[in-house]
A and B are shown apart, each in its own frame.
Chain A
Amino acid sequence: MNAVTVRDLRKSYGDHEALRGIDFTIEAGEVFGLLGPNGAGKTTTVEILEGYRRPDGGKVEVLGVDPQKSGPAWRERIGVMLQSSSLYPALTVRESLRVFGGYYAAPRDADEVIGIVGLVEKSDARVRTLSGGQKRRLDLGLALVGDPELVFLDEPTTGFDPGARRTAWDTIRELRALGKTILLTTHYLDEAEQLADRVAVLRDGVIIREGSPAELTGGIVETEIRYLRGEEEVVERMVDPTRRLHELTAEAIARGEELAGLEVRRPTLEDIYLELTGE
Chain B
Amino acid sequence: MSLFFHEVKTEQLLFWRNRESAFFTFLLPVIFFLVFGSIYGNSTITKEHLRAAPFLEAGMIGYGVASTAFAGLAITMVIRRESGVLKRIRATPLPPATYLLAVLLSTFIVFLIETALIIVIGRLLFSVAVPDRPFSFLVALVIGSAAFAAMGLGLTSAVRSSEGSSAVVNFVYLPMAIISGTFFTPKGYPGFLRAIADVLPLTYFTKLTRNVMVRHEHIWTQGGSLAAVLLWGAIGLIAAIRGFRWQPRDG
Contact = CB atoms under 8 A, between A and B. Distances in A.
Contacts of A103: 3, 6, 89, 92-94
Interface stretch (B11-19, B40-48, B184-192, B208-216): B11-19
A85 B91 contact: no
Interface string B9-29: 010011001100000000000
A52 B84 CA distance: 12
B38 interface: no
Given A84-B251, A85-B84, A86-B85, A75 B92 contact: yes
A226 B90 CA distance: 52
Contacts of A90: 14, 17-18
Given A100-B92, A102-B6, A105-B93, A52 B87 contact: yes
B13 A78 contact: no
Q: Which of A80, A87, A90, A142 has the most CB of B within 10 A?
A: A90
Chain A contact surface mostly: loop
Contact of B83 (A86, A102, A104): A86
A271 B10 CA distance: 49
A146 interface: yes
A87 B13 contact: no
A278 B96 CA distance: 43
A131 B93 CA distance: 29
A104 B88 contact: no
Interface string A99-126: 1101111000000000000000000000
A76 interface: yes
Q: Give the size range of B's interface with the partner.
A: 20 to 34
A80 B88 contact: yes
Contacts of B83: 86-87
Contact of B84 (A75, A86, A99): A86
B164 interface: no
A142 B10 contact: no
Q: Which of B18, B87, B89 has the most CB of A within 10 A?
A: B87
Nearest to A100: B92
Contacts of B93: 72-73, 75-76, 103-105, 146
Contacts of A100: 88, 92
Q: Which of A72, A76, A78 has the most CB of B within 10 A?
A: A72
A50 interface: yes
Contacts of A84: 84, 251
A72 B98 CA distance: 12
Nearest to A86: B84
A19 B54 CA distance: 64
Contacts of B18: 90
Interface string A190-201: 000000000000
Contacts of A102: 3, 6-7, 10
Interface in A61-90: 72-73, 75-76, 78, 80, 82-88, 90
Contact of A146 (B92, B95, B247): B92
A28 interface: no
Contacts of A88: 14, 85
A90 B10 CA distance: 12
A90 B79 CA distance: 13
Q: Which of B18, B89, B93 has the most CB of A within 10 A?
A: B93
Interface in A24-60: 50-52
A142 B92 CA distance: 10
A116 to B, nearest CB: 19
Contacts of B88: 80, 82, 86, 100, 142
Interface string B75-109: 00000000111011111111100000000000000
20 contacts: A50-B91, A52-B87, A72-B93, A80-B91, A82-B84, A86-B83, A86-B84, A86-B85, A86-B88, A88-B14, A90-B14, A91-B14, A91-B17, A95-B13, A100-B92, A102-B6, A102-B10, A103-B6, A103-B93, A104-B93
Interface of A: 50-52, 72-73, 75-76, 78, 80, 82-88, 90-91, 95, 99-100, 102-105, 142, 146
Given A86-B83, A91-B17, 10 more contacts: A75-B93, A82-B84, A88-B85, A91-B14, A99-B13, A100-B92, A102-B7, A103-B94, A105-B93, A146-B93
